[in-house]
Chain A
Amino acid sequence: MKKELKVQLDGILENQGLARAVAAAYASQADPTVEELTEIKTAVSEAFSNAAIHGYKGEGGPVKMEFGFTSADTLMIKVIDKGTGIENIAVAMEPLFTTDTGPERSGMGFTVMESFMDKLKVDSKPGEGTTVTMIKKLDTYYEL
């Protein structure tokens, strides 16, 4: 991994905007298209809000974000929380699935991450937390 960046934010929803701003600033180094940048921001926004809402149940806790390039045009982002973890990852990743029956959750977070990034991997253990790893290859067709 090249040009690594590690940051830690408190896992509260107030930091959601900051989390995606950090992601956008980091990704900008590779000269992404506007569309790619939006996709990266959205995916990170989803992963971070999952950590805040489901991982830490709105009470906050450390959310680490790790950024790096696995090659010149391939970005890898990890969003790591030490919250409640996910019991059944496959079910959690299904579109429209949500455990939060209260305030209008769509259950589309993982679906959005999956469609906006090239690869999505979720590692989780109940009681230990969740690590979301996302990989995105940026378009480089304009390079000579």
Chain B
Amino acid sequence: MEIIFTVTESTLVAELLGELDHHAAEGTREKIDKAMDNYKVSGLIMDFKKVSFMDSSGIGMILGRYRKLGEKGLKIAISGCSPSVRNILNMAGVFSIIDYYQDREEAVREMNRKEVS
């Protein structure tokens, strides 16, 4: 799985590309954690727009980041999930604890807006 990182104001966007399974999850979470440490931002958006496949490993990956960032008082949101990705995340109730946005731009806007207010 490839990840493209971009920083907008105080938010790190991790655009995930490809297939997210148990094999890919480990490297993915390491890369994201490392980027969060490097960029010293106050929030993370994981964008799933270009994720072509995801199994339940995605749940663990997202909830793991949620927990880790929460301990440091950092914010997290997800964006751009396909219907099947949404379906899987819904089974574990991910959307009841993590903000979801249809597209990345909206997620970035909202997260930086919350930062200001």
Residue of A nearest to B92 (CB): A108
Residues of chain B within 8 A of A38, CB atoms compared: 53, 84
The answer to whether A49 and B19 have CB atoms under 8 Å apart is no
Residues of chain A within 8 A of B91, CB atoms compared: 95, 108, 111-112, 115
Residues of chain B within 8 A of A111, CB atoms compared: 56, 91
- Number of B interface residues at 8 Å Cβ cutoff, please give it: 23
Residue of A nearest to B25 (CB): A104
Interface of B is mostly: helix
In chain B between 44 and 95, which residues have their CB closer than 8 angstroms to a CB of chain A? 53-57, 59-61, 63-64, 83-84, 87-88, 91-92
Residues of chain B within 8 A of A2, CB atoms compared: none
The answer to whether B60 and A16 have CB atoms under 8 Å apart is no
Residues of chain A within 8 A of B21, CB atoms compared: 13, 16-17, 20, 45, 49
Q: Is A64 an interface residue (CB 8 A)?
A: no
The answer to whether B61 and A42 have CB atoms under 8 Å apart is no
Q: Which of B25, B56, B87 has the most CB of A within 10 A?
A: B56
- Top 10 nearest A-B pairs by Cβ distance? A106-B59, A104-B60, A104-B64, A13-B23, A106-B60, A108-B56, A49-B22, A45-B55, A38-B84, A16-B23
